[in-house]
Chains A and B, each alone.
Chain A
Amino acid sequence: GAGVSQTPSNKVTEKGKYVELRCDPISGHTALYWYRQSLGQGPEFLIYFQGTGAADDSGLPNDRFFAVRPEGSVSTLKIQRTERGDSAVYLCASSPTWAGTGELFFGEGSRLTVL
């Protein structure tokens, strides 16, 4: 596709359940970022992949959060034992290399609601 694609666009789950959010970056983009955005706040950095490896996962809130990018393209953000505080929009972004121009291309996000 032409842009960054994220699925699902909306996910409602119950507290304690497991959730996977998928990101399909722009073809050829080697850098991939996950952010989390709560209402009225700026995007909060979670994790950055350069190729297949996580170059920086310092933003993951705790060990319930994990992300993979096994083939250097599609990435999956995994959240175990979800809590109500995990409710937010999860944004994925990609860039051709390491965002040398400060430009990231964002997807529309996956809105997660934990009941």
Chain B
Amino acid sequence: GQSLEQPSEVTAVEGAIVQINCTYQTSGFYGLSWYQQHDGGAPTFLSYNALDGLEETGRFSSFLSRSDSYGYLLLQELQMKDSASYFCAVRVPIYNQGGKLIFGQGTELSVKP
């Protein structure tokens, strides 16, 4: 089976740093992605980790430990516009035909002034 666990909600203040954790249990693993979704909008891609370690993209960083089946998204210098839902998603193999993404239930981030 496939399962991903992430906190359902997180609250932080503008300018702060927040970390959203994700643990996973999947049949096969290619990598871990993170997506952002504002209310009523489409999920948009933030980052992807295929190897262990930290990937940094501007204010956002993502970390992966494959041995621990664990990753996190780190958001720095929080802004009001960062209030959204954040999803971790594991890319799992499809035999001989690439991969698909299995999503977690999402973490709703509320940024307060």
Residues of A within 8 A of B (CB): 4, 31, 33, 35, 40-45, 48, 50, 55-56, 91, 93, 97-109
Pick from B11-19, B41-49, B75-83 the stretch touching chain A. B41-49
Residues of B within 8 A of A (CB): 4, 30-33, 41-45, 48, 50, 87, 89, 91, 94, 97-106
Interchain Cβ contacts within 8 Å, total number: 77
Q: Nearest chain-A residue to B4 (Cβ)? A: A42
Q: Is the interface of A mostly helix, strand, loop or mixed?
A: loop
A31 and B97 alpha carbons, distance in the complex (Å)? 10
A50: chain B residues at CB < 8 Å are: 97-98
Task: Check if B101 sits within 8 Å of A104, measured CB to CB.
Answer: yes
Task: Check if B48 sits within 8 Å of A102, measured CB to CB.
Answer: yes
Q: Nearest chain-B residue to A31 (Cβ)? A: B98
Task: Check if A104 sits within 8 Å of B98, measured CB to CB.
Answer: no
Task: Check if A42 sits within 8 Å of B97, measured CB to CB.
Answer: no
